[in-house]
Amino acid sequence: MTTIIWIAVAIVAVGLYLSWTAGRLDRLHARIDAARAALDAQLLRRASVAQELATAGVLDPAASIVLYEAAHAARQAEDDQREVAESELSQALRAVLADSETVAAVGEAPGGTAAIGELTQSVRRVPMARRFHNDAVRAARAVRDHRVVRWLRLAGHAPFPLAFEMDDEPPAHLTNEGGASLIR
């Protein structure tokens, strides 16, 4: 009789562990969804601010076209091309705002200080949001790599989480080290 009790206790313990693991995976997937939504919001904000800056008339025409095209492509990109389009926007921002004179000229234009301030905030938040998303993906992948999770299919039909890899380095003159303090 005691053997049956021990077997029942072991089955209940294994069941609790599996239930806890499945719940943890569910919470990790919810965290990934929330982090992805935050990342999408930051990327959209950065592209919108870049488009506003490109159409404000404070940049030279060639720089405005380059920045506008990159921002438009980033906003309109499909999911499978999003990383490339966002990387190209980062490169365009670095090319257009490559020197402190350009940043200072934009800051001196009417509404330029606010535009540079908003762009500075958005280019700082994108790497943070991407880091949070990729950390959540890494944690979910670590749990999904366990044999028990794979064998018993505890992840259900949830798609395998993918990290968001892009070039998110901000223009040097929009960071504290690069001289954004000149504008404030």
Within a domain: 2:
no
Judge whether residue 182 has pLDDT over 60: no
Residue 25 lies in a domain: yes
Token pair, residue 98, equals 């490559």
pLDDT, average across residues 58-82:
91
pLDDT grade for 168, boundaries at 50, 70 and 90? confident
Residue 4 included in any domain: no
pLDDT value of position 43: 95
What average pLDDT does range 60-76 have in this prediction? 92
Do 182 and 116 contact (CB within 8 A), yes or no? no
Alpha carbon 66 to its chain centroid, in Å, reads 23
User: Which pLDDT score is estimated for 121?
Assistant: 92
- CA distance linking residue 168 with residue 82, whole number of Å: 13
In a domain, 3, yes or no: no
**Domain membership flag for residue 6:** no
Task: Return the percentage of the chain with pLDDT > 70, whole number.
Answer: 95
Residue 1's pLDDT band (cuts 50, 70, 90): confident
Report yes or no: 164 and 37 within 8 Å, Cβ to Cβ.
no
Is 5 within the bounds of a domain?
no
Q: What is the DSSP string of 51-111?
A: HHHHHTT-S-HHHHHHHHHHHHHHHH--GGGHHHHHHHHHHHHHHHT-SHHHHHHHHHSTT
pLDDT at 93: 92
Q: How far is CA 49 from CA 44, 114, 119, 143, in A?
A: 9, 10, 6, 38
In a domain, 116, yes or no: yes
Given a contact cutoff of 8 angstroms between Cβ atoms, the answer to whether 144 and 160 are in contact is yes
* Inside any domain, residue 12: no
Q: pTM above 0.85?
A: no
Number of domains in the chain: 1
pLDDT in the model for residue 176: 55
101's torsion region: left (phi>0), alpha (psi -120 to 50) or beta?
alpha
Angstrom distance (rounded) from CA 93 to CA 180: 14
* Residue 52 to residues 7, 87, 89, 95, Cα–Cα distance (Å): 67, 19, 14, 17
Q: Mean pLDDT in the chain?
A: 88
Answer whether residue 90 shows pLDDT above 80.
yes
On whether the CB atoms of residues 122 and 93 are closer than 8 A, the answer is: no
Q: What is the pLDDT of residue 179?
A: 45
Binning pLDDT at 50, 70 and 90, where does residue 105 land?
Answer: confident
Residue 106: which domain range? 18-182
